[in-house]
Structure 1
Amino acid sequence: MRIWGLVAAMVFVASGAFAGQAPVAYRLTPVVERGALSALAVEMRFVGDADGVTDLELPSSWAEGEKLWRLVDHLTVDGARLDPGGEAVRLLRHGSRAAITVRYRLAITGETDPGRDHAKGEPVVRPAWFMAHGEGLFAAPAGRQGDPATFAWGARPKGWTLVSDLDHLAGRTGKVSEIIDSVVVGGTQVTRVNAKVAGAPLRVAVIGQWPASAQAVTDMAARIMTAENALWRDRGQPFLITVTPLGEAKGGGSSSTGTGKSDAFAIESTTNVDLTRDPHFLAHEYMHTWLPNQTGGLPLEDEARDYWFSEGFTDFYATRVLLASGIWSLEDYAARYNEVLTRYDGSAARNFTADQVMAVFWTNQDAQQSPYDRGRLLALTWDRAVRTASGGRLSLDDVMRRQRDAVRAGAKGYGAALFPGTLRALAPGIDVEADLARHVTGGETVWLESGVFGPCLALARKSVPVFDRGFDGAKSGQTGIISGVDPAGPAYAAGLRDGMKRLSREGGKEGDSRVEIGYRVAGPDGVPSLIKYLPAGKTTFDLQAVSVVPGLSGEQRAACVADLAGR
């Protein structure tokens, strides 16, 4: 049951659209009563538009969160008349450039951890802690994303720690868009670690207890960030990592999601996840500092159409950085690409057109993953093509740095739209538009060519059975009860039945039918048992596979690492 309560965001806003006026100033104050969070006190001040009518934009739809305005409660206005009705946009009528005060509340969503199905666009507010993305928290006058803005916390409750990437605005003026593209956390059990990366502050704020300490997460993140700054030839900048709990997944499963901001990333995860065991997750999120944030960004509508660029390229570079930094070996690098290729080649959405992907993107896991894998494999292909065309002088890294520099110099256009022209300027013979038409728009399979990984990794193709879990894995993981067992599938043949309690999963590799998977379950008598089987379906598909060439000398391995790392 959803328990409604009170969240308030204290927001002072003054338009910078008119010369001489103060910047938009946001203030956020948590209110703790009798030891528990009851509200974030809310106030919003700004100068109305010159024509006497201002549209106030409330949080709307973002990152699986729909109709976020529905959480806004007790909206009141001084200095203007609030027209009745309206949802995401509320109409204010007032005198020309009037001083306006808006107050509102956001509803608390419950007193227990949000769970693995939480829509990350929605604020999470609990008696002892809170986390919210700016997109789901802050309102703003319409059309003022580029206006100057400041941020400050209000009074800090005794015993509470408050952290946000907006703290980076302390003592200076940013933009309204920075306020919206933010994350805020606070609570009584926040562990905060401070470090330096390339001379700039790195802060890690972790709520609750996790397998890896906040210090271990910080150390891993600092190593990755150092390598990524080197890739982009950039100086360090203030950065924040937040880690907040989704709770324990039922049946021993796990779930993690990350959201990259321009100067932060927010991790939401079940608390059984060791965040240092998969550095690719951290590398991916920090790479969003540049991709797509500093290379053109994403469109406001249907942004997932450009995920081949923003997410696929980010995956490609995260893998490259982990190899370059020495965190991963050649074997680790090959293993990750084998995971990607197994998932991609065996995906039910492998040949979805872009329109088909978009039609089911938020409800179909295969469709959601498709742009990531297509973009990663296309980036790998184009990187080798640029190297070949330039006689080894250039790589995709040079293309991306040039696009970053062009955007900083004022180039207009979203990242995915800017990329083909940027690459063409450095390697005219590569027809990026044709590749995109075939593989992204049309859904044609990306078959990698021999040599795309250089001389140290061999590429082969083999026929393997499709991955068939034999039951509804997603629903069973959510409920902790086995359901949807196919009587003709491998799970049923091994003894798995609907209604068994799912205790844990042991072994197996998601998407790989060649690796035995096991489920520890309990039947009606409550006695636990372990059921193992090969999750192999009755049909097959062609799988691309990578392996490290045996017998490489140390010098050859070093040369191959340098090549694959883009050096």
Structure 2
Amino acid sequence: MFKRVLLTALLATFLFSCQQRPESDISYEISAVMVDSVPQLKIKMTLKASPNGTTTLSFPNEAWGQEGLHKALGKMQLLNVEGAVEKDADSSRIVLMHPKDVEELEFEYFLKQDFEGDVSTSKIYRPIINKTYFHAFSHNMFMIPENAGESEDILLDWTSLPEEYTIHNSFGSKEKIQLLKDQDVGLFSNAIFVGGDFRVFNGEIQGNKISLATRGEWIPFKDEEVFKVLEETLTYQRNFWNDHSQEYFTVTMQPFPQENGSSFQGTGLTNSFATSVSNNDQTDIGQMVYLFNHELMHNWIGHTIKNDNEEEQYWFSEGFTEYYTFKNIAKNNINGLGGTFYIDELNRTIRDLYASSVGEVPNSEINYDNFWSNYEFSKLPYWRGAIFAFYLDQKIQRASNGTKSLDDVMHQIYDDATEKGQKLTHDYFTGLMKTYWDGDFDAVFQENIEEGQKVDLVALFNELGLEYSPESDVYELGFEFTEGRKGIASVVEDSKAWEAGVRQGDEVFSRSIWQGNVEHEVELGLKRDGEEIRVSYYPTKKGEVPQLKHTTENIEKLGF
């Protein structure tokens, strides 16, 4: 009887194993190990061998602003055949050399965290692996065979990880075996994978799953507050676009320590959005409302509606996304934010654009080099595009007596993108706008986008009967750093920085600066002639910058 029971149990285990390990083109078996007291992930990979005896795997050494990613790789070896493994950092390849008659390879490699100390904004895009959890992106975790097709059956086997580990990623949650059938390899290569002590919150929007995975003890907010913001954001955005086609979507949120100020960043990925957020009392839930609404709006503006020329149409992909971030939040009262919030964000954007030293450069100067190397150039498309979108929205509503708005234009652009594969070009946009515009729209577009001239907001506010102030405080830091930001290179005389005592030649040993924000003080620790000096001031100056007033009449006229 005992033998029969044992045989039955073994047979059940065998059948369970067979069910849990289906056939695939590429498989990864992941386990957690300690190597010389260092926590690592061991990844056993099974893949097709190249008939010429050399199989190459892609594993970038440089990606997403990070260099030297191959330093995260530990021991590598072929398991089922004699051969050799070579790391080619210059080409971002791992080369497997093996007999030509082999059809399948079993290859094992180890992955480790290659930095010490706390996680930071500069480290979040490297593999994070410790005794408690791991956090990695596809490109720095899973090697991809270069002989793979556009789509493959990919198996992820997490069963060797500790039982208490939460497994969560762009393709599912708490699944120890994941078979990704006919998986687009490019989409697989653009995903987030986390495991360990993550907490997962789940919900549904019209039958489609959404989730939030986070960890650590948050200081500024509760998990439930963040999940509610996520749920509201996705619900209202999907309703706006009338698009509830995504069956699964997740957000991961990783905390990192930061002593002064707050910072947050996010990366849109396959079925997911990965965020990292400073965990201190200077971060607040309102920043998560903005982050989620802006970045998740890119599911449509930027992802479905693609720019024909990336930098040339940043005014649309970033600027219109920014405008619809404000509008979506206020229209739907997300986290209690309504018309006053809309006016606040609009005023802030106006101040930023008017105070910018590059505020009226031609659109052609927003190129790759400028955008990625200069803060003001990187923000200019957000500011210019958002103000232009506001201008168009109000003019369309006024010309149509409220029967149409910029929303109708956006829906038409979305329909053309999904049904015809139409990309956003200047000719396409101006052609479409002519059906909504009363007058010469080509001239308007040429002046405000191509040439970069500011929209005449004073004339617009007067036309709409909106109450406004003709001037405002605008941002002025008041000094320039030396290279490396360790000293003061120059100071604007009579600026707030000058009045506070900042002088050319001062050494900087500490700083807290909210770039572009007039509501937070700049705090500097300076050294001069061996003496330590601490200064603080509001980085402002007066400018002829129109600002809408927070009146009930303004809020009603703007549609809130």
- TM-score when scaled to structure 2? 0.76
The 1:434–1:143 alpha-carbon spacing in structure 2 relative to 1, beyond 3 Å, is farther
Report the more deviating stretch, 172-181 or 467-476: 467-476
Match of 1:247 among 257, 260, 280: 257
Equivalent-residue separation in structure 1 for 2:534 and 2:86 (angstroms):
62
1:57-72 matches, within 5 Å, as: 57-59=58-60, 61-66=62-67, 68=69, 71-72=72-73
Equivalent-residue separation in structure 1 for 2:34 and 2:112 (angstroms):
16
CA contact (8 A) 2:237 2:328 kept: yes
Q: Structure 1 residue 68: deviation in Å?
A: 4.3
1:324 and 2:326 correspond: no
CA contact (8 A) 1:501 1:523 kept: yes
2:305: which partner in 1? Answer: 295
CA contact (8 A) 2:200 2:213 kept: yes
Equivalent-residue separation in structure 1 for 2:449 and 2:61 (angstroms):
29
CA contact (8 A) 2:258 2:278 kept: yes
Equivalent-residue separation in structure 2 for 1:52 and 1:413 (angstroms):
44
1:76-225 matches, within 5 Å, as: 85=88, 86-89=90-93, 98-118=103-123, 120-142=124-146, 146-150=150-154, 152-154=156-158, 155-167=160-172, 170=178, 173=181, 174-188=183-197, 190-210=198-218, 211-225=220-234
Match of 1:494 among 467, 477, 500: 500
CA contact (8 A) 2:133 2:196 kept: yes
The 1:101–1:76 alpha-carbon spacing in structure 2 relative to 1, beyond 3 Å, is same
Tell me the alpha carbon deviations over residues 463-513 of structure 1, each in whole angstroms, 9 at most, x when there is no partner: 86761243649977xxxx8865738453343235745764867xxx75366
Match of 2:248 among 238, 250, 274: 238
1:388-427 matches, within 5 Å, as: 392-409=402-419, 411-412=420-421, 414-415=423-424, 420=429, 423-424=432-433, 427=436
CA contact (8 A) 2:50 2:147 kept: no
Count of residues in correspondence between the two structures: 520
The 1:68–1:191 alpha-carbon spacing in structure 2 relative to 1, beyond 3 Å, is same
1:442-521 matches, within 5 Å, as: 442-448=451-457, 450-451=459-460, 455=464, 457-458=466-467, 461-462=470-471, 467-470=476-479, 472=481, 486=491, 488=493, 490-496=496-502, 498-499=506-507, 502=510, 510-511=515-516, 517=521, 519=523
CA contact (8 A) 1:475 1:483 kept: no
RMSD: 4.5
Tell me the alpha carbon deviations over residues 58-103 of structure 1, each in whole angstroms, 9 at most, x when there is no partner: 2355432346456455555678987885522466788699434454
1:261: which partner in 2? Answer: 269
1:365: which partner in 2? Answer: 375
CA contact (8 A) 1:121 1:135 kept: no
Q: Structure 1 residue 164: deviation in Å?
A: 1.1
The structure with the larger Rg is 2
Q: Structure 1 residue 531: deviation in Å?
A: 3.9
Tell me the alpha carbon deviations over residues 89-135 of structure 1, each in whole angstroms, 9 at most, x when there is no partner: 466788699434454444523232232444x5433334433322224
1:533 and 2:537 correspond: yes
Aligned residue type for 1:243? M
Equivalent-residue separation in structure 2 for 1:227 and 1:474 (angstroms):
45
Aligned residue for 2:545, secondary structure, equals strand
The 1:449–1:76 alpha-carbon spacing in structure 2 relative to 1, beyond 3 Å, is farther
Aligned residue for 2:162, secondary structure, equals coil
Equivalent-residue separation in structure 2 for 1:368 and 1:149 (angstroms):
39
Q: Structure 1 residue 360: deviation in Å?
A: 3.2
The 1:59–1:233 alpha-carbon spacing in structure 2 relative to 1, beyond 3 Å, is same
1:345: which partner in 2? Answer: 354
2:296: which partner in 1? Answer: 286
Q: Structure 1 residue 333: deviation in Å?
A: 0.8
1:377: which partner in 2? Answer: 387
CA contact (8 A) 1:470 1:490 kept: no
Aligned residue type for 2:192? V
Tell me the alpha carbon deviations over residues 180-232 of structure 1, each in whole angstroms, 9 at most, x when there is no partner: 221122233x2322233333332212221222111111112212222112111
Aligned residue type for 2:373? T
1:7: which partner in 2? Answer: none
Aligned residue type for 2:238? N
CA contact (8 A) 1:420 1:432 kept: no
1:334 and 2:334 correspond: no
Q: Structure 1 residue 434: deviation in Å?
A: 6.7
Aligned residue for 1:267, secondary structure, equals strand
Tell me the alpha carbon deviations over residues 410-468 of structure 1, each in whole angstroms, 9 at most, x when there is no partner: x4465567962783595487887776665555544444474479947446654867612
Aligned residue for 2:243, secondary structure, equals coil
Aligned residue type for 2:187? E
Aligned residue type for 1:214? D
Aligned residue for 1:400, secondary structure, equals helix
CA contact (8 A) 2:215 2:253 kept: yes
1:41 and 2:49 correspond: no
Equivalent-residue separation in structure 2 for 1:418 and 1:53 (angstroms):
48
Aligned residue type for 1:43? K
2:4: which partner in 1? Answer: none
Aligned residue for 1:374, secondary structure, equals helix
Q: Which has the higher contact order (CA 8 A, sep 6+)?
A: 1
CA contact (8 A) 1:45 1:99 kept: yes
Report the more deviating stretch, 252-261 or 438-447: 438-447
Match of 2:549 among 547, 550, 554: 547
Aligned residue for 2:199, secondary structure, equals strand
Percent identity of paired positions between Structure 1 and Structure 2: 20
CA contact (8 A) 1:227 1:324 kept: no
Equivalent-residue separation in structure 2 for 1:25 and 1:444 (angstroms):
54
Q: Structure 1 residue 337: deviation in Å?
A: 1.1
Aligned residue type for 1:349? V
Equivalent-residue separation in structure 2 for 1:35 and 1:405 (angstroms):
56
Aligned residue for 1:543, secondary structure, equals coil
Aligned residue type for 1:187? G
Q: Structure 1 residue 31: deviation in Å?
A: 1.1
The 1:76–1:397 alpha-carbon spacing in structure 2 relative to 1, beyond 3 Å, is farther
Equivalent-residue separation in structure 2 for 1:453 and 1:244 (angstroms):
46
Equivalent-residue separation in structure 2 for 1:276 and 1:317 (angstroms):
19
CA contact (8 A) 1:262 1:288 kept: no
Structure 1: segments with no counterpart, 5+ residues: 1-20, 563-567
Equivalent-residue separation in structure 1 for 2:179 and 2:511 (angstroms):
51
CA contact (8 A) 2:468 2:549 kept: yes
Aligned residue type for 2:266? G
The 1:402–1:56 alpha-carbon spacing in structure 2 relative to 1, beyond 3 Å, is farther
CA contact (8 A) 2:112 2:128 kept: no
Equivalent-residue separation in structure 2 for 1:467 and 1:281 (angstroms):
25
Equivalent-residue separation in structure 1 for 2:426 and 2:105 (angstroms):
39
Equivalent-residue separation in structure 2 for 1:229 and 1:453 (angstroms):
35
Equivalent-residue separation in structure 1 for 2:462 and 2:412 (angstroms):
24
Equivalent-residue separation in structure 2 for 1:422 and 1:144 (angstroms):
42
Aligned residue for 1:222, secondary structure, equals helix
